[in-house]
A = this chain, B = another copy of it.
Amino acid sequence: MTAVLVIEDDDRIRLALLLALEEEGYAAYGAATAEEGLRRQRDSPADHVLVDLMLPGLDGFECIRRLRRDDDVPIVVVSARDDTHDIVAALEAGADDYVVKPVAIKELSARLRALRRRGRVVAAAVPAQVFGELEISAEAGEVRRAGRPVAVTRTEFRLLCELAEHAGRVLSRQQLLRRVWGYETGDERLVDVHVGRLRQKIEPDPGNPRHLVTLRGLGYKLQR
């Protein structure tokens, strides 16, 4: 169950939001002040936080900054003010989205889903990734196993980076052909061959791969 914390001082709006969110299948709970919201989020973190900008005491911007300091939780501002300065300031403070009241609950729900999806995306520009005794440094263009450099070719390296970028997720041979080779179509066996060669270099026992595994009928994935 996805939990949502709503920080909003207006009782009626807060309650309406909570009800609507519960209707959508979220576990929703509220806080009337920034201080209370921060405390609740610290004690039992929600998966999303909705926050109003105009709050008594600590204002919404400061609330966002403090939430963001502790946490990567997706923050959505729900504000009555449709003003570029507010929007920019809120996003700069660390919010992920900004919607204007009154907001359709379906839209809000869709935006929360989009944020969750986005949150899963692994960044391309991670300096070095570690998979057990395997290290991949995209910037240095280098692969190490147990601290020792491994000589991989350019194609193998690109393939490995592509898999590392989506670590834990299956990539089909088609996707790999497109992303690594730029082929729109082509012989999928090509992928097999390069995966095989890569395994010879990075897996201690290439016959029983531990990181670069095959998912029969689906494709390959790199796992920790």
| Chain A residues at the B interface, C-beta cutoff of 8 Å | 42, 70, 72, 74, 84, 87-88, 91-92, 94-98, 104, 106-107, 109-111, 113-123, 125-127, 139-142, 153-154, 157, 168-170, 175, 178-179, 184, 215-219, 221, 223
Q: Is the CB of A123 within 8 A of B120?
A: yes
* A42, A98, A123, A139 pick with most chain B CB within 10 angstroms: A123
Q: Is the CB of A170 within 8 A of B123?
A: no
A114 → chain B, closest Cβ, in Å? 5
24 A-B contacts (beta carbon < 8 Å):
A42-B178, A42-B184, A70-B175, A72-B121, A74-B118, A87-B104, A87-B107, A88-B107, A88-B110, A91-B110, A91-B111, A96-B117, A97-B111, A116-B127, A118-B118, A119-B121, A120-B127, A120-B139, A122-B122, A126-B168, A140-B169, A141-B215, A154-B216, A154-B218
Q: CA–CA, A88 to B88, complex, Å? A: 23
Q: Which residues of B contact A94 (CB under 8 A)?
A: 117
Q: Is the CB of A141 within 8 A of B218?
A: yes
Known: A72-B121, A87-B111, A95-B114. 13 other contacts (CB 8 A): A42-B184, A70-B178, A87-B104, A88-B110, A91-B111, A92-B110, A98-B111, A119-B123, A120-B127, A120-B139, A139-B170, A141-B215, A153-B217
Q: Is the CB of B84 within 8 A of A96?
A: no
Q: Which of the residues B114, B175, B216 comes within 8 Å of A91, measured between beta carbons?
A: B114
A195 → chain B, closest Cβ, in Å? 15
Q: CA–CA, A74 to B168, complex, Å? A: 20
Q: Which residues of B contact A223 (CB under 8 A)?
A: 140
Can you name the residue of chain B whose Cβ is closest to the Cβ of A113? B91
* A92, A120, A219 pick with most chain B CB within 10 angstroms: A120
Q: Is the CB of A140 within 8 A of B170?
A: yes
Leading 5 A-B pairs by shortest Cβ distance: A154-B217, A141-B170, A84-B104, A91-B110, A120-B123
Q: Which residues of B contact A122 (CB under 8 A)?
A: 122-123, 126
